[in-house]
Amino acid sequence: MFAATPSVLRCSRCGRFVDWAEARLQVICGCRSHVDLPPVLTRDAVDAERHIALDLFRRDFGRTDVAAFGEVVSLETVPGLIVAEMEGDLSGALAWRRRGEALHVVALATDPMWQRSGVGGHLLAEAEMVARREKLSRVIIATTNDNLPALYFYQRRGYRITEVVPGAGARHAAAPAGTGFAEIPVMDELRLEKVLPT
């Protein structure tokens, strides 16, 4: 089971688990040295793990229906589910589906306990491998204006912002007041993509 409830992110200074509104952004230099961690194994989820992944998504996004690219996608029935395992525990999950010639990453979350341990990066790399295997030319992702950690994370991994849809992000907001990361109002949907090398 995922270790931290009901928090979403982990403080990189003190290690405490925090929710969206409580989290803050901090600029650091490249001083963080590499930490030796257990290997991250990624694979397709088995049926029994689906509810564990759903719990993690529900905790992070407040719902299991994700609004993105003008549609509402249910995480309960999404066809693709990849999980990450560390030391025998599920440490993160990525849900995907096909959308035209693209693999759409519908949701991605790492258990706060294991954030900044390579889990998210491995899950995204696995999704890109699936896309290549399925002969899909692009990976697409939608996030919201407030989610600066995710925008950082994706752009660091070669994703580019292709579209901003003003006002469409409000449907993503987990908090009833419509606030997200660091209490920034959730307003807009930001669409990103990575064109896979042929």
Provide the binding-site residues for ligand COA, judged by CB under 6 A: 8-9, 32, 34-35, 37, 60, 92, 108-110, 115-121, 141, 143, 147, 149-150, 153, 156
Minimum distance from CB of 198 to ligand COA (Å)?
Answer: 25
Select the residue whose beta carbon is closest to ligand COA and give its number: 120
Task: List beta partners, residue 192.
Answer: 141, 161
Minimum distance from CB of 178 to ligand COA (Å)?
Answer: 16
- Output 155 or 195, the one with its CB closest to ligand COA: 155
Minimum distance from CB of 11 to ligand COA (Å)?
Answer: 12
- Output 135 or 173, the one with its CB closest to ligand COA: 173
Contact assessment for residue 60 and residue 10, using Cβ atoms and an 8 Å cutoff: no
Structural tokens at position 61: 């996004």
- Output 135 or 165, the one with its CB closest to ligand COA: 165
- Output 150 or 168, the one with its CB closest to ligand COA: 150
Minimum distance from CB of 141 to ligand COA (Å)?
Answer: 6
Minimum distance from CB of 90 to ligand COA (Å)?
Answer: 13
- Output 4 or 198, the one with its CB closest to ligand COA: 4
Minimum distance from CB of 108 to ligand COA (Å)?
Answer: 5
Contact assessment for residue 196 and residue 180, using Cβ atoms and an 8 Å cutoff: no
- Output 9 or 168, the one with its CB closest to ligand COA: 9
Q: Print the SS3 string covering the chain.
A: CCCCCCCCEECCCCCCEECCCCCCCCCCCCCCCCCCCCCCEEEECCHHHHHHHHHHHHHHHCCCEEEECCEEEECCCCCEEEEEEECCEEEEEEEEEEECCEEEEEEEEECHHHCCCCHHHHHHHHHHHHHHHCCCCEEEEEEECCCHHHHHHHHHCCCEEEEEECCHHHHHCCCCCCECHHHCECCCEEEEEEECCC
